[in-house]
């Protein structure tokens, strides 16, 4: 399956380059971390990650509440703050922060748009932002999360 191969390629590249990676996930609910650890040897490069589904959990993990208040939880700025937070907390070379909505509009956040996701990949000093807007009408949440995670790994391979 393409998904597993991309994740495995990323993990094997990280092992070869002796780089570590961490994740702070919201809309993917830990799927990216799970896909990383599906590859043998991932423990050498993945110390862990956070699933921060609620805004409050993001803040408790270390995301500055003012970023969420100013830009919204569904924003490039929040995704970057999530990546920076997990990178700092777990002391990794690379970090991923991802936030967005899956199949429905979030009643807790007025800025939610169905099928919209923001993610940020930080590799050392390099910061990469990604934004997807997809028509996810009628799709199952697990399939939407898979699309988001696949996008992350596809872009990591390009990097």
The tens digit of pLDDT for each residue in 27-36 reads: 999 999 999 9
The Cα 6–Cα 50 span in angstroms is 21
The Cα 12–Cα 93 span in angstroms is 15
The tens digit of pLDDT for each residue in 139-155 reads: 998 999 999 999 999 99
**pLDDT over threshold 90, residue 46:** yes
The Cα 61–Cα 151 span in angstroms is 25
Domain ranges of the chain: 2-158
The tens digit of pLDDT for each residue in 94-123 reads: 999 999 988 666 666 666 667 899 999 999
Q: What CATH number has the domain spanning 2-158?
A: 3.90.950.20
Ramachandran bin of 69, using left for φ above 0, alpha for ψ from -120 to 50, beta for the remaining angles: alpha
Does the reported pTM lie above 0.85?
A: yes
The tens digit of pLDDT for each residue in 56-82 reads: 999 999 999 999 999 999 999 999 999
Ramachandran bin of 29, using left for φ above 0, alpha for ψ from -120 to 50, beta for the remaining angles: left
Smallest CA-to-CA distance from 94 within 154, 47, 51 is with: 47
């Amino acid at each position: 399956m393409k998904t597993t191969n991309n994740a495995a390629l990323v993990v094997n590249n990280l092992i070869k380059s002796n780089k570590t990676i961490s994740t702070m996930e919201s809309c993917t609910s830990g799927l990216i971390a799970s896909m990383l650890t599906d590859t043998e040897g991932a423990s050498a490069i993945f110390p862990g990650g956070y699933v921060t589904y609620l805004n409050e959990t993001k803040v408790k993990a270390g995301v500055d509440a003012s970023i969420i208040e100013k830009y919204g939880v569904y924003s490039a700025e929040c995704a970057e703050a999530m990546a920076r937070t997990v990178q700092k907390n777990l002391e990794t070379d690379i970090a991923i922060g991802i936030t967005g909505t899956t199949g429905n509009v979030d009643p807790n956040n007025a800025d939610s748009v169905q099928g919209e996701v923001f993610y940020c990949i930080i590799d050392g000093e390099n910061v990469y932002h990604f934004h997807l807007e997809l028509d996810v009408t009628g799709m199952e949440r697990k399939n939407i999360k898979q699309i988001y995670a696949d996008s992350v790994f596809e872009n990591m391979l390009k990097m």
